[in-house]
Amino acid sequence: MSDQIRSLTLSHVVLPIANPVSDAKVLTGRQKPLTETVLLFVEVTTTQGLSGVGFSYSKRAGGKAQFAHLKEVAEAAIGQDPSDIAKIYESLMWAGASVGRSGVATQAVAALDVALWDLKAKRADLPLAKLLGSYRDSCRVYNTSGGFLQASLEEMKEKASASLETGIAGIKIKVGQPDWRLDLERVAAMREHLGDTPFMVDANQQWDRARARRMCRELEQHDLVWIEEPLDAWDAVGHADLSREFDTPIATGEMLTSVPEHMALVDAGYRGIVQPDAPRIGGITPFLRFATIAAHHGLALAPHYAMEIHLHLAAAYPTEPWVEHFEWLDPLFDESIEIRDGRIFVPQRPGLGFTLSDEMRAHTQDTVTFSA
């Protein structure tokens, strides 16, 4: 007899950020400083006694909506075979079809989808990367958390040096300020400070097409690994045009919440770096669907945030990817990830390789359980 999903526990978790940060969206007045990460955790157990854990997240808004949406549709998964992940995914999409197949709907379902992949790898007694078919046991890693715009130039330099001393390979900083001259000054100063260290910048969608072309042209001299989100995230044609016009690679995709939204980049002739985010695109199932297409088109990969999930997915991508390092979620898990010599290493424990910490429980504001 096949296994069945016996119970699902959903947890709404609010994790404060010790030092609030601001990117260009704050300086242009479009958002408030980031003070917390709101997470949706799913713990799944089966009739054969197996378990899995997954999560999704939101910043600034949407966390409560994710929790509420999954509460409405999660019961559709009860009694299903947990190995039939694609089938379960489709059933949850149909259960919430009236609100569409992107945005909050996919981000909510993502937490359960990730939990099912964690469970499946645990059933096989393999790290998730090995279950998927990994190409490598570690990936290049860069840090973003030290490069936000509320930090002074000296503070950014200090944080970058500290990150490199821990074994991080690359550094990314935020740009996109209303005064573009300040961006250029900070980038030039950081390039001088970093020497030959791999260096990326992120404009967080704050340039129009004309400004983006001018900034990309000015930034060519700094030998950047990439220029991230120079345009609105849904301007596929604009990003594709920039990716063909400049030598410095363009990177985008972190904000997109479905495979079709990512496919718009491919259809527009995009030649840059894709940055799908598993919790945002809808989970590991849709992430893998798009990753296959991206690899077919020869696109480089650098998944966004959530390194606890993306490290496994990056290890299973054909060409060498970058993984983004944020320490913000560390308190939620009992285990840490090994970083050394510029690389972040796939945990050798089964599944994602993480268990939820007491601190995660302490930050849980609401929870609900569904059971057969």
What is the Cα–Cα distance from 122 to 289, expressed in whole angstroms? Answer: 22
Q: Are strands 34-46 and 273-274 parallel, antiparallel or unpaired?
A: unpaired
Contact indicator for 258, 102 with CB cutoff of 8 Å: yes
Contact indicator for 301, 273 with CB cutoff of 8 Å: yes
Point out the annotated binding site for Mg(2+). 202, 228, 254
pLDDT recorded at residue 147? 85
What is the Cα–Cα distance from 82 to 115, expressed in whole angstroms? Answer: 10
pLDDT recorded at residue 245? 96
pTM of the model: 0.94
Point out the annotated binding site for substrate. 23-25, 59-60, 172, 204, 324
Point out the annotated binding site. 23-25, 59-60, 172, 202, 204, 228, 254, 324
Domains of the chain: 5-125+358-371 (3.30.390.10), 129-345 (3.20.20.120)
What is the Cα–Cα distance from 354 to 306, expressed in whole angstroms? Answer: 13
pLDDT recorded at residue 96? 86
What residue type is 184 in one-letter code? L
- Known catalytic residues are 174, 304
Which residues in the chain come in under a pLDDT of 50?
A: none
Nearest to 279 by CA among 85, 38, 22: 38
Spell out the alpha helix ranges (H) of the chain. Answer: 24-27, 63-73, 85-95, 104-123, 128-132, 153-165, 180-194, 209-219, 236-245, 259-267, 278-281, 284-296, 307-315, 358-362
Length of the chain: 372
